[in-house]
Structure 1
């Protein structure tokens, strides 16, 4: 009798446990410590907040000139019902041929953002030191923080990232990774590839340079660093999001030593690349004529943005990217007021987030109508900001 009563009590307790609601999932201590944040607030979010679409989308450094017509056709004709090739074989082979290296030196991923996440996952654990520039690409910082790494930052020098300072800091803190974009976002500045290679002599042993070359197809000849693909000190990141006009497809790739490239297979999403994106990138890579056309359009748009800035008494900074940083001549608060007025007028632009670079606006290249709209809105924005 007592045994039967005990069994009923145990069954009742089990039922209560199963039916009791779980208050929240059991997050890791690291996840609990992190804010729910988004590195970039998208223009769509801002459009919803303002209750109207933007007249000119000049803030995300996309290519409004679009992808190659051959890429559009290839994506449209793709059997999207099939998964993409998990090895990205054809695209990797074409990229290898394009760069004169082996396919074993290339990994393809969901944009540079995705590849940065995989790289940090491979190399950065709790408390590991990572070095970057204060105000450089925030998504990289997001990944480092998300895997428990410790960020160490150095300031820009004359609106350029400072390789010497970055590498010196890496030696001080025993960094596993150091991040350098060339050309740079958000300032559009650049170093010659030869200078990057020379600076590598001071990269500490055991530290990997993440060389983000997202904008290199926009830059002057000699900007790409002539680093051997097998050099174990460097991994170079490239993308189809900028000059190739495929930001929405999310296609990036990294060039590095075979051992490091192979390690990505331990952590990457093997079906992360959709079939249409693979086909589009392959077609875009083979359309040199369209690439040259877009490069010309970017150069023309940069000149126009500079002209608009100077007409309004502002100083455009030299740029090797598909955007121009415009010095507003005062502090970050003034630049933010100008930006807010532009956004209110339907002109989507962005600005650097760290001083003193936050004295600037960052304006992406656009078609003539986009830049006409910017030219119309800028004088009012400056007046409303109190100039």
Structure 2
């Protein structure tokens, strides 16, 4: 036999990418989008301090990054009120999820999530042979009670909840999330994905009990900090679980430039406050545009607004396609009944002006 001998698991998996990026679509279209409002990036950019720090660090790009991410872990620990031993830094939440699944999920192990929740988590689970068990959303919210019940029924190794949620931008108060943590079955670890927590109302996140072995939290610099392209995420958990990441992680996965940018951004409270204010104003503008076209914006605790198109998934997909044809990049949930909606990222005024111009035309074409 010539060529590589793939494992049976890999042979049985499709080659897939959980998200088709706007660049891929632009290459296929042969032209750029005028409004890039689909990837939940911070269109308001990184902190000026972060940009300066990354420019300085670029001069030392010949060096490997600190394999322990020491300075960033210490700064995060101080900011969070935990010990550095409770913090792990990695290549975005995506990278850290991959390491966690590698540590805990063997072929055939059960994992519980919501139907329509973050697909990259599912990608990692399937990539290591885990068996996904999905429960439906309750209205436009993930259902903590159903997630726990399913985890108990199937003996899940992991149960995943995002709060605030992607793709619906909904959220649960801290008390409901803490009740879910308190209900986690023996032998199950709860993943609490808080990628959008900086945009959420006060009282959304339960207090961090870093020594609680039942839960691991994930947060990121990709959203409010505007460093999606730098790939910096972090996990907060009990020290033994954090230490176990050193068994599987890519120790030089974090480049010096990303570490420097995240460290500088963490200290720039004024920029973070400004981004939050701009996102809030942009959410209001998106909601106004949606209502002006007869659509229903859903309440949002994130940097995007999910807009109910008022029909079914087929109609929403037509709206999405018509917007793309008019050079507006947005996305939508992939599972019914969530797929009656489209999802629009917060952005500056010029980007939202394009949306306001093209949405009525896209709706007319989708209906016609």
Fold similarity call, TM over 0.5: yes
TM-superposed CA distance for 1:203, in Å, is 1.4
> What CA deviation, in whole Å up to 9, does each residue of 1:126-177 have, x standing for no partner?
0000000000000000000000000000000011000000000000000000
**Is the CA contact 1:183–1:213 (under 8 Å) kept in the aligned structure 2?**
yes
TM-superposed CA distance for 1:198, in Å, is 1.7
Equivalent-residue separation in structure 2 for 1:177 and 1:199 (angstroms):
13
TM-superposed CA distance for 1:200, in Å, is 2.3
Does residue 65 in structure 1 map to residue 63 in structure 2?
A: no
Deviation larger for 338-347 or 223-232? 223-232
Q: 1:97 aligns with which of 52, 55, 78?
A: 78
Does residue 33 in structure 1 map to residue 8 in structure 2?
A: no
Q: 1:327 aligns with which of 289, 293, 308?
A: 308
Equivalent-residue separation in structure 2 for 1:349 and 1:108 (angstroms):
30
> What CA deviation, in whole Å up to 9, does each residue of 1:242-289 have, x standing for no partner?
000000000000000000000000000000000000000000000000
- Equivalences for 1:222-261 in 2 at 5 Å? 222-261=203-242
TM-superposed CA distance for 1:24, in Å, is 2.6
Q: 2:115 aligns with which of 128, 134, 137?
A: 134
Equivalent-residue separation in structure 2 for 1:225 and 1:298 (angstroms):
23
Equivalent-residue separation in structure 1 for 2:235 and 2:297 (angstroms):
31
Does residue 180 in structure 1 map to residue 161 in structure 2?
A: yes
Taking structure 1 as the reference length, what is the TM-score of the superposition? 0.94
Runs of 5+ unmatched residues, structure 2:
none
- Equivalences for 1:258-297 in 2 at 5 Å? 258-297=239-278
Structure 2 equivalent of residue 51 of structure 1: 30
Structure number with bigger Rg: 1
TM-superposed CA distance for 1:386, in Å, is 1.0
Structure 2 equivalent of residue 111 of structure 1: 92
CA RMSD of aligned residues (A): 0.7
Structure 2 equivalent of residue 165 of structure 1: 146
Runs of 5+ unmatched residues, structure 1:
1-21
Equivalent-residue separation in structure 1 for 2:339 and 2:47 (angstroms):
34
Q: SS in structure 2 opposite 1:36?
A: coil
TM-superposed CA distance for 1:227, in Å, is 3.5
Equivalent-residue separation in structure 2 for 1:228 and 1:128 (angstroms):
27
Does residue 349 in structure 1 map to residue 330 in structure 2?
A: yes
Q: SS in structure 2 opposite 1:276?
A: helix
Q: 1:198 aligns with which of 172, 179, 188?
A: 179
Q: How many residues align?
A: 366
Does residue 367 in structure 1 map to residue 348 in structure 2?
A: yes
**Is the CA contact 1:197–1:227 (under 8 Å) kept in the aligned structure 2?**
no
Q: Which runs of 4+ in 1 moved over 4 A?
A: none
> What CA deviation, in whole Å up to 9, does each residue of 1:33-91 have, x standing for no partner?
00000000010000011110000100000001000000000000011111100000000
Does residue 155 in structure 1 map to residue 136 in structure 2?
A: yes
